[in-house]
Amino acid sequence: MRIGVIGTGKVGATLGDALGRAGHEVKLGSRHPGDSVGGPPLVDVAAALAAADVVLLAVPPGALGELLAEHAKSLAGKLIIDATNQFGGASANASVQVAAAVPTARYARVFNTLGWENFAEPIFDGEPADLFFSCRAADRPVLEELISAVGLRPAYLGEDKQDVVDGALLLWFSLVQANGGNRRIAFRVLQK
Ligand SMILES: NC(=O)c1ccc[n+]([C@@H]2O[C@H](COP(=O)([O-])OP(=O)(O)OC[C@H]3O[C@@H](n4cnc5c(N)ncnc54)[C@H](OP(=O)(O)O)[C@@H]3O)[C@@H](O)[C@H]2O)c1
């Protein structure tokens, strides 16, 4: 898949690197193209979006408004993966913002419920952790492929369930706080 990762910090660089190693064609969109962080090439944001079928947003939530407005045209019709977390607002996710700026985008909520350290090392006691996600049913196979490529096990919650996904985000933070700040905490769903 051709993936444009916007944001080259802890989340963007970690996921971009993992997806690239899994064989996907990844470009990291940065305000500092050319700086090397290792892994996939660092290009400007417009170039990363132009080359992508799937876009992963891994920027601070405050940067989204301008980013979406400036690049709405090249985001049209694409699968947009929202990994951003806004705290203290009406909602942690950017689904409303994305729909308003890019009405034709296919929105997916994933890669936001665990700390980035668990994206870098997704195996616990020999087994992958589960990652909750929501997206249109038609996009589920794509998301399952990308989550698996990072080494996590996909746990689908259904369409338009971004607020349910975000419940797991709050759960994760509470667990971290209750365990002395240990961020190497993740989830596993038991199923028969
Ligand atoms: N940290 C976690 O464990 C974690 C886990 C899940 C989700 N999240 C969410 O994921 C997002 C990224 O978190 P992070 O921890 O990776 O943050 P981070 O390490 O601070 O990285 C943020 C990245 O966004 C880039 N950026 C900022 N404004 C931009 C713009 N207008 N255009 C393009 N790039 C821009 C920054 O680039 P510059 O270098 O140019 O500033 C930087 O590469 C946040 O929304 C966060 O809530 C974080």
Whether residue 53 is contained in a domain is answered as: yes
Q: In this structure, is residue 86 part of a structural domain? A: yes
The total number of structural domains in the chain stands at 1
> Is the Cβ atom of 85 under 6 angstroms away from ligand 1?
yes
The average pLDDT across 98-126 equals 98
Pocket probe for ligand 1: among 59, 68, 166, the residue whose CB has the most ligand atoms within 8 Å is 59
121-153 residue pLDDT tens: 999 999 999 999 999 999 999 999 999 999 999
Q: How far does residue 192's CA lie from ligand 1's centre (Å)? A: 38
The pick from 31, 45, 132, 171 for probing ligand 1's pocket by mutation, whose C-beta has the most ligand atoms within 8 angstroms, reads: 31
Tokens for 34, please give them: 């050319």
In a domain, 97, yes or no: yes
**Ligand 1 and 7: CB distance under 6 A:** yes
State both tokens at 152.
């996590």
Among residues 153, 172, 144, 166, the alpha carbon closest in space to that of 95 is found at: 166
**pLDDT tens track for 56-83:** 999 999 999 999 999 999 999 999 999 9
Looking at the chain, the number of H-run helices and the number of E-run strands are 8, 10
* Domain coverage including residue 74: 2-178
Nearest to 111 by CA among 27, 25, 186, 52: 186
Asked if 153 and 123 count as a contact pair (C-beta separation under 8 A), the reply is: no
17 has pLDDT over 90: yes
Q: Is residue 191 part of a domain?
A: no
Q: What is the pLDDT of residue 79?
A: 98
Task: Using the atom order of ligand 1, give the atom closest to the CA of residue 84.
Answer: 45
d(CA 108, CA 140): 9
Residue 189 lies in a domain: no
Q: How far is the CA of 52 from the centre of ligand 1 (A)?
A: 19
Confirm whether 186 is domain-assigned. Answer: no
- Does residue 187 lie within any of the structural domains? no
More confident of the two residues 92 and 38: 92
Any ligand 1 atom below 6 A from CB of 173 = no
Listed residue (1, 25, 6) closest to 111, CA to CA: 6
Within a domain: 192 = no
Q: Tokens at residue 29, please?
A: 């969109």
Percent of the chain whose predicted confidence (pLDDT) is above 70: 98
Q: What is the CATH number of the domain that holds 9?
A: 3.40.50.720
* The token pair that represents 125 in the structure block: 């006691």
